[in-house]
């Protein structure tokens, strides 16, 4: 590249793409078939699916599919408008009633997806110069919501509640303060220290919001989420979660006090200025809420599989980053090595997904495995052996 000459935007963008390729951070879209099943297909090759968020297997469930088809036949293909115009078709009320009964909350609404839910909730709730306190490993949608709100964005070190408290102490008492945390962290698979966070929330008169994207359907007696598992649901002001992971389809929800939901309905821009969900999605959400409560055995089986997978990889000497859930990363290190590791596993027939910066910190490249209730133990055993073999070959384990 010529020195001294100002690049135009086209040259700048192509230089940026070139740089991403050079540091092994360039992403590519790959067509994937059967990702709703334990074995998927990429480029005509069958691979064990240890990469989906379909934790309970509902993405391929006949009952969900049937209720989607019925919804289409009854209510049509599209939503026709935003919910506040004429897009609020009858299935919304049915699905939201099911949601509120399931969560035993005062009120709740369904939002188009988790990303816009987090953007919308945080930016509706906080004003310029308010404060948001966010775990450093929270999901990107929380980070973006904080930025959009123009509140002061204070990120505390992962799980470091002394750090959180020090930051809370410094914030002026008259400012609105929101503490927000994932309950299961999406890249490390560990659990928020929710009990201790509730103590701080009360001590500093803050608002508490949790993101149950990876815990909805999995924790709690009826799959309500991790807050219910700890019986802390009444201490949490805003419970957000999604239908797009364990619940098998698409969309998000938020539950809380009636006035809070009323406020969000009036103030969330992503809710007001975006078309309602198609009826089929609401059909799936409603079916999933009902089914997930009736099938605790899937949750149990998922926990059993997850624990077995974690313990086995740890026994081989892998660093699983403190995982306590169905999300089980193994740390590899540099980008290039992480990519190579993933490539080896794919050659062996495992759909291993490398996760690199900026999604995770520099030099903490990892393979992020997810197990589901619909995997069978022999397949997990087979995968664990292959992972260990590649780990030894590449010097990741001894
Ligand atoms: C997946 C995810 C989201 C986004 O949800 P979508 O419905 O996929 O937009 C938000 N928060 C967390 C923690 C997630 O893992």
Ligand 1 pocket residue status of 325, Cβ below 6 Å: no
Residue 2 domain flag: no
3-class secondary structure per residue, the chain: CCCCCCCCHHHHHHHHHHHHHHCCCCCCCCCEECCCCCEEEECCEEEECCCCCCCCCHHHCHHHHHHHHHHHHHHCCCCCCEHHHHHCCHHHHHHHHHHHHHHCCCEEEEECCHHHHHHHHHHHHCCCCCEEEEECCCCHHHHHHHHHHCCEEEEECCCCHHHHHHHHHHCCCCCCEEEEEECECCCCCCECCHHHHHHHHHHCCCEEEEECCCCCCCCCCCCCCHHHHCCCHHHCCEEEEECCCCCCCCCEEEEECHHHHHHHHHHCHHHHCCECCCHHHHHHHHHHHHHHHHCHHHHHHHHHHHHHHHHHHHHCCCCCCCCCCCEEEEEEECHHHHHHHHHHHHHCCECCCEECCCCCCCCCEEEEEECCCCCCHHHHHHHHHHHHHHHHHCCCCC
Shared-domain flag, residues 234 and 309: no
Q: Is 48 among the domain residues?
A: yes
Is 368 among the domain residues? yes
CA 141 to ligand 1 centroid distance, Å: 7
Mutational pocket test of ligand 1: of 110, 113, 115, 119, the residue with most ligand atoms within 8 Å of the beta carbon: 115
| Number of CB atoms found within 10 A of residue 381's CB | 13
- Could you tell me if 186 and 315 lie in one domain? no
Give me the residue label for tokens 């035993």.
104
- Asked whether 289 and 249 are in contact (CB, 8 A), the reply is no
Handedness of CA 325, 328, 334, 338 (dihedral sign): negative
In a domain, 157, yes or no: yes
- Of 261, 294, 327, the residue that ends a domain is 294
Q: Does the CB atom of residue 270 touch ligand 1 within 6 A?
A: no
pLDDT of 3 reads 61
Map tokens 């805003």 to a residue: 238
Identify whether 11 is part of a domain. Answer: no
Per-residue pLDDT of the chain (398 residues; tens, 9 = 90+): 556 678 999 999 999 999 999 988 888 999 999 999 999 999 999 999 999 999 999 999 999 999 999 999 999 999 889 999 999 999 999 999 999 999 999 999 999 999 999 999 999 999 999 999 999 999 999 999 999 999 999 999 999 999 999 999 999 999 999 999 999 999 999 999 999 999 999 999 999 999 999 999 999 999 999 999 999 999 999 999 999 999 999 999 999 999 999 999 999 999 999 999 999 999 999 999 999 999 999 999 999 999 999 999 999 999 999 999 999 999 999 999 999 999 999 999 999 999 998 888 899 999 999 999 999 999 999 999 999 999 999 999 98
Q: Which of 294, 319, 341 is the last residue of a domain?
A: 294
- Angstrom CA distances, 61 to 21, 56, 370, stand at 38, 10, 19
Query: Do 300 and 287 share a domain, yes or no?
Result: no
Ligand 1 pocket mutation pick from 186, 189, 217, 219 by most atoms within 8 angstroms of CB: 186
Which atom in ligand 1 lies closest to the alpha carbon of residue 118? 10
Q: Is residue 335 part of a domain?
A: yes
Q: What is the rounded distance in angstroms from the CA atom of residue 31 to the CA atom of residue 15?
A: 26
Domain-embedded: residue 18: no
Say if residues 355 and 329 touch (Cβ distance below 8 Å).
yes
Question: How close is the Cα of 109 to the center of ligand 1, in Å?
Answer: 16
Cα angle for residues 12, 14, 19 (degrees, 5° grid): 95
Based on the structure, what is the number of domains in the chain? 2
Shortest-distance atom of ligand 1 to CA 139: 13
Cβ neighbours of residue 387 under 8 Å, at least 6 residues apart? 313, 316, 318, 330, 345, 350
pTM of the model: 0.96
The reply to whether 48 and 178 lie within a common domain is: no
135 and 204 share one domain: yes
215 and 165 co-located in one domain: yes
Residue 197: give its domain's CATH number: 3.40.640.10
| CB distance 54 to ligand 1 below 6 Å | no
Q: How far is the CA of 115 from the centre of ligand 1 (A)?
A: 6
User: Does the C-beta of 114 come closer than 6 Å to ligand 1?
Assistant: yes
289 with 313, same domain?
no
Q: What is the Cα–Cα distance from 185 to 138, expressed in whole angstroms?
A: 7
Question: What amino acid positions are annotated as catalytic residues?
Answer: 186, 214, 245
Pair (43, 146) in one structural domain? no
Question: Which structural domain, as residue segments, surrounds residue 32?
Answer: 24-56+296-393
- Residue 213 Cβ inside 6 Å of ligand 1? The answer reads yes
Q: What is the pLDDT of residue 359?
A: 85
Q: Do 57 and 298 contact (CB within 8 A), yes or no?
A: yes
- Measured distance between the N- and C-terminal CA atoms of the chain, rounded to whole angstroms: 44
Give the C-alpha separation, 312 to 384, whole Å.
7
Q: Which atom of ligand 1 is nearest to the CA of 245?
A: 1
- What's the farthest any 2 CA atoms get from each other in the chain? 67
210 domain residue, yes or no: yes
CA–CA distance, 316 with 295 (Å, rounded to integer): 33
Which residue among 251, 268, 294 closes a domain? 294
Mode of pairing for the β-strands spanning 152-156 and 107-111: unpaired
Query: Both 238 and 362 in a single domain?
Result: no
- What are phi and psi for residue 101, nearest 5 degrees? -65, -40
Task: Count Cα atoms within 13 angstroms, Cβ side, for 351.
Answer: 25
**What ligand 1 atom has the least distance to the C-alpha of 252?**
7
Q: What is the domain-level CATH number for residue 313?
A: 3.90.1150.10
The predicted pLDDT at position 79 comes to 86
How far apart are the CA of 145 and the centre of ligand 1, in A? Answer: 13
126 and 273: one domain?
A: yes
Q: In this structure, are 317 and 259 located in the same domain?
A: no
Q: Which residue has the tokens 């149950």?
A: 212
CB–CB of 217/259 below 8 Å?
no
Find out whether the beta carbon of 111 lies less than 6 Å from any atom of ligand 1: no
Q: Supply the pLDDT for residue 358.
A: 84
What pLDDT does 1 receive?
52
Q: How far is the CA of 357 from the centre of ligand 1 (A)?
A: 18
For the CA of 138, the closest atom of ligand 1 is 13
Residues 36 and 69 in one domain: no
């Amino acid at each position: 590249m010529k020195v001294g000459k100002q690049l135009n935007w086209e040259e700048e963008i192509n230089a940026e793409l070139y740089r991403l390729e050079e540091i092994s951070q360039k992403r590519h879209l790959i067509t994937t078939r059967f990702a709703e099943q334990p074995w998927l297909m990429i480029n005509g090759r069958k691979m064990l699916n240890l990469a989906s968020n379909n934790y309970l297997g509902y993405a391929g469930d006949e009952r969900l599919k049937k209720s989607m088809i019925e919804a289409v036949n009854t209510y049509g293909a599209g939503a026709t408008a935003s919910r506040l115009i004429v897009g609020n078709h009858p299935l919304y009320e049915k699905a939201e009633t099911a949601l509120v009964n399931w969560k035993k909350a005062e009120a709740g609404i369904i939002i188009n997806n988790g990303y816009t839910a987090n953007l919308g909730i945080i930016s509706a709730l906080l004003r310029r110069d308010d404060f948001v306190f966010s775990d450093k490993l929270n999901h990107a949608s929380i980070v973006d919501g904080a930025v959009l709100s123009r509140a002061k964005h204070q990120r505390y070190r992962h799980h470091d509640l002394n750090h959180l408290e020090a930051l809370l102490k410094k914030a002026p008492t008259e400012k609105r303060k929101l503490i927000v945390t994932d309950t299961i962290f999406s890249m490390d698979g560990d659990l928020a220290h929710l009990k201790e966070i509730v103590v701080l929330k009360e001590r500093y008169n803050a608002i508490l919001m949790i993101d149950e994207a990876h815990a909805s359907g999995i924790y709690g007696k009826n799959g309500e989420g991790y807050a219910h598992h700890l019986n802390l649901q009444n201490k949490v002001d805003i419970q957000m979660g999604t239908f797009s992971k364990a619940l098998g389809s698409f969309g998000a929800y938020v539950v809380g006090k009636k006035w809070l939901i009323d406020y969000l309905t009036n103030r969330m821009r992503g809710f007001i200025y975006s078309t309602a969900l198609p009826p089929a999605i609401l059909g799936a959400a409603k079916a999933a809420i009902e089914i997930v409560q009736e099938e605790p055995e899937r949750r149990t089986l998922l926990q059993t599989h997850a624990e077995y997978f974690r313990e086995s990889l740890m026994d081989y000497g892998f660093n699983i980053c403190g995982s306590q859930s169905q999300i089980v990363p193994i740390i590899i290190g540099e980008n290039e090595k992480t990519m190579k590791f993933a490539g080896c596993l794919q050659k062996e027939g495992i759909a291993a997904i490398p996760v690199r910066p900026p999604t995770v910190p520099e030099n903490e490249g990892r393979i992020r495995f997810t197990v589901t209730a619909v995997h069978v133990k022999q397949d997990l055993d087979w995968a664990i052996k292959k992972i260990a073999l590649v780990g030894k070959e590449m010097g990741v384990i001894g």
